Amino acid sequence: MPNCLTLKKSNCKNCYKCIRHCPVKAIRFSGNQAHIIGNECILCGHCFVVCPQNAKEIVDGTEKARVLLQSGDPVVVSLAPSFIANYEGVGIESMRTALKKLGFYDVEETAVGATIVKTEYERILAEEERDIVISSCCHSVNLLIQKYFPAALEYLADVMSPMQAHCADIKKRMPNAKTVFIGPCVAKKDEAEHYEGLVDDVLTFEELTNWLKAEGVELERSCDDTPESRARFFPTTRGVLKTMAQDQPGYTYLALDGVENCIAALKDIESGKIHKCFIEMSACVGSCIGGPVMEKYHSTSPIKDYMAVAAYAGERDFGVGQPTPGELKKHFTMIEPKYPTPSEHEILSVLRQMGKTKPSDELNCGTCGYNSCREKAIAIIHGKSEISMCLPFLKDKAESFSDTIVKNMPNGLIVLNENLEVQQINTAARKIMNIRAASDVLGEPVVRILDPSVFIRVKNSGRIVRDQRTYLAEYNKYVEQTVVYDPDSHMLIGIMRDITEEEADREKKSRINKQTLEVADSVVEKQMRIVQEIASLLGETAAETKIALTKLKESVGDE
């Protein structure tokens, strides 16, 4: 990870917004957290600007500046010319007054260094037979070329940036001075750290604002007027060109802003389509006044910001002592890529894992942050991305899983929208209602196939109907019906369990029971008749016996 950018892991919510906006995809994801890949990052600051959770932090240089102030050496500020857009209505004299209250020895405009640099550009075009010259003011552009377009390195002007040229000039005039650059750029922190000995510390406008506030120092709204300040145009698109003569015959002078435009131009340069031109390149749209730290702190208004710079800029160059070309020399080397290019077999293997088995499956929708499914597959191979970051893949997987459940569940399922139109119907429900294909009823009113009254009742009341035994006369089916209304999705869900066979079994048992009862009643009745007949016979026999015995008794008694 670049030393000037840190990540608050707890704040990273796995939203992938940073990778979608990173022009070189220098972010990897692991454990649902974003990680900046230092070897690939060009420090454009896009991820810092767009992060909705403020999970990306720029390392604060305030404490280091305080230490420099305590060293006893004079500490001089090189103030980026975009300050006039960030601090509305505050000129260099007001900034000098405020910063001196913080303990700085003096404050100068980086535009002084810009004058030195643009003069060197003019000399190169006039004296050296170069085909293409790309401005080297923007450190992010320099990193872009060093890391991704090494074939274009020969065209990158081997000249210090305005920040470096100005700080070198300050130290030349004051050998014991320390220098602190203040501006709207994240990349300048890395540039100062990488090229040691010129810039001792870098602060952003946001850090300066917080420091002033902490010390109770207020900026006085006062704009001075200096005609020798044409280089104040540098932080705007075409700002470098505005200060240059642009008089070399055969050369085309053009300006590009935004990493995407710079990448397109560099591709054309590498392919040999561009010749004989000077190209001013800025990574930020609108150049430095569109810098990432200004976007975080300052309410960006491109037109208003440009007008502020234009109104403050003069018509002539600063009076500077121009260093020799050797003193302004800056060497750029290629920064080797970290990952090797994967084979076609490896890419196709990952694409298959993402459910992309043919070219038509590669939607290249960009929701994962990559421009194409193949780029995403390569990122997965490099360990920078995860298959789960593919939204169509997740959607298809979720739908496939839910469809498998719905299609294979034994109960009938029918889903309606609030207009009582069929949105989904499974195989079991079609079987219950003798529907040949789902397409025959999808989008149609449910009244075509079912009595809608229960759905209307549930929708209006919001109460679930659970396990209601219903006879579907038109289909000669009995079902247990459950109807639920989901207000979040605005859908009605009907679940039907076919109990026709159970009902037939119940009726069969009922008939058998009835027949059994009838037989039992008949048997009982017959038995009762037999008992009664036996009883009657027994009664007659007993009476006769009683009479005979009585007579016998009387006869015996008479004797």
- For residues 141 and 283, the answer to whether their CB atoms sit within 8 Å is yes
Residue 385 has pLDDT above 60, yes or no: yes
Please report the pLDDT score of residue 20 as a whole number.
86
Helix or strand run (H / E) with residue 113 = helix 111-127
The pLDDT value recorded for residue 30 is 76
**Beta strands 201-204; 178-183: pairing state:** parallel
Say what the pLDDT of residue 243 is: 95
Residue 293 reports pLDDT greater than 50: yes
Among the listed residues 523, 540, 42, the one whose alpha carbon sits nearest the alpha carbon of residue 262: 42
Residue 122 in contact with residue 269, Cβ under 8 Å? no
Alpha helices for 388-493 (secondary structure H) = 391-408, 427-432, 453-461
| Most confident of the ranges 18-27, 55-64, 213-222, 500-509 | 213-222
pLDDT average, residue stretch 392-418? 78
How are strands ordered across the β-sheet holding 75-79? 106-109, 75-79, 178-183, 201-204
Q: Which two tokens stand for residue 463?
A: 């109460």
Using pLDDT thresholds of 50, 70 and 90, give the confidence band for residue 557: low
> What pTM, to 2 d.p., does this model score?
0.72
Closest to 94 in 3D by CA, of 105, 82, 84, 80: 84
Task: Show the DSSP H helices in 128-227 as ranges.
Answer: 139-148, 162-173, 187-194, 205-215
| pLDDT band with cut points at 50, 70 and 90 for residue 372 | confident
The pair of three-digit structure tokens given for residue 264, joined into one six-digit string: 């397109």
Q: State whether residue 556 is helix, strand or coil.
A: helix
Q: Is the pLDDT of residue 297 over 50?
A: no
First and final C-alpha spacing in the chain: 144
User: Over the stretch 247-278, which tens digit does the pLDDT of each residue have?
Assistant: 999 999 999 999 999 999 999 999 999 999 99
Residue whose token pair is 């360990």:
383
Per the document, the length of the chain is 559
Tokens representing 290?
A: 């569109």
Is the pLDDT reported for residue 298 higher than 50?
Answer: no
Q: Pick the more confident residue, 237 or 507.
A: 237
The model's confidence at residue 542, banded by pLDDT at 50, 70 and 90, is: low
- pLDDT tens, residue by residue, 91-107: 999 999 999 999 999 99
- Average pLDDT of the residues of the chain: 88
Query: How far is the C-alpha of 464 from the C-alpha of 392, rounded, in Å?
Result: 34
- The reply to whether CATH 1.10.15 applies to domain 339-407 is yes
The set of residues, in sequence order, having a beta carbon less than 8 Å from that of 330 and lying 6+ positions away, is 136, 158, 159, 160, 161, 164, 195
Which one has a higher pLDDT value, 70 or 404? 70
Predicted pLDDT at 77: 98
Per-residue pLDDT reduced to its tens digit, 450-507: 999 999 999 999 999 999 999 999 999 999 999 999 998 889 999 999 998 888 888 7
3-state per-residue secondary structure call for 360-389: HHCCCCCCCCCCCHHHHHHHHHCCCCCHHH
| Residue 235 clears pLDDT 80, i.e. is over it | yes
Is 80 exceeded by the pLDDT of residue 432? Answer: yes
Cα–Cα distance, 300 to 400 (Å, whole number): 45
Residue pair 254/268 in contact by the 8 Å Cβ criterion: no
Confidence class for position 1, pLDDT limits 50, 70, 90: very low
Lookup: tokens for 49: 């600007």
Look at 295 and 398; give whichever has higher pLDDT.
398
Q: In this structure, which topology does domain 60-312 adopt according to CATH? A: Rossmann fold (3.40.50)
What are the tens digits of pLDDT across the range 38-49? 889 999 998 888
Third-level CATH fold of 1-59: Alpha-Beta Plaits (3.30.70)
| Cα 163 from Cα 184, distance rounded (Å) | 12
Residue 481 dihedral angles phi and psi, to the nearest 5°: -115, 130
Q: Residue 532, by phi and psi: left (phi above 0), alpha (psi -120 to 50) or beta?
A: alpha
* pLDDT for position 296: 43
CA–CA gap between residue 310 and residue 21 (Å, rounded): 30
Q: What is the pLDDT of residue 559?
A: 54
Tokens linked to 157: 């002007």
CA distance 173 to 87: 28
Q: Which is the CATH superfamily of the domain at 409-498? A: PAS domain (3.30.450.20)
pLDDT confidence band for 282 (50 / 70 / 90): very high
More confident residue, 59 or 535: 59
Which residue, among 152, 151, 139, has the nearest Cα to 195 in the 3D structure? 139
Q: Do the beta carbons of residue 211 and residue 201 sit within 8 Å?
A: no
The H helix count followed by the E strand count for the chain is 20, 16
Which helix (H) or strand (E) segment is 269 a member of?
helix 259-270
Q: Which residues contact 125 (CB under 8 A, 6 or more apart)?
A: 133, 248, 251, 278
Please compute Rg for the chain using Cα positions.
44
Per-domain boundaries in the chain: 1-59, 60-312, 339-407, 409-498, 504-535
The strand ranges marked E within 405-476 are 412-417, 422-425, 465-472
